[in-house]
């Protein structure tokens, strides 16, 4: 059974305060591959591995039904730096 972007969004937003969230179905609409970009203050003080483990736990049931899942997780401060760097390009 395909997973919807709305299902992923609901689960993530229920688990942590989200500053920015992008969810991309990278499987051309079949719901088997997703890439998420999550910005949250909940990631403050956590390294990348801890952040990814947290998101993997939040989406454990959904990820089990997918073929592929990737994620990028940033704090709000890191996200502002990311946006500033993009603006320079």
| Cβ neighbours for 35, distance < 8 A, ≥ 6 positions apart | 23, 24, 26, 69, 70, 71, 72
Per-residue pLDDT at 29 exceeds 80: no
pLDDT of 77 > 80? The answer is yes
User: For residues 56 and 49, what is the distance between their CA atoms, to the nearest angstrom?
Assistant: 10
Q: Name residue 35's beta-bridge partners.
A: 24, 70
**pLDDT score of 2:** 82
Domain ranges of the chain: 5-88
List pLDDT tens digits, range 37-68: 999 999 999 999 999 999 999 999 999 999 99
When the candidates are 3.30.300.90, 3.30.420.40, 3.40.50.2300, 3.90.76.10, the CATH number that belongs to 5-88 is: 3.30.300.90
Can you give the pLDDT at residue 1?
67
């Amino acid at each position: 059974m395909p997973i919807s972007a709305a299902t992923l969004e609901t689960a993530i937003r229920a688990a942590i305060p989200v500053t920015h969230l992008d969810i991309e179905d990278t499987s051309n609409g079949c719901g088997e591959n997703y890439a998420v970009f999550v910005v949250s203050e909940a990631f403050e003080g956590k390294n990348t591995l801890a952040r990814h483990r947290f998101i993997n736990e939040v989406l454990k049931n959904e990820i089990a039904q997918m073929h592929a899942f990737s994620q990028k997780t940033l704090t709000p401060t890191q996200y502002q730096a990311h946006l500033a760097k993009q603006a320079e390009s």
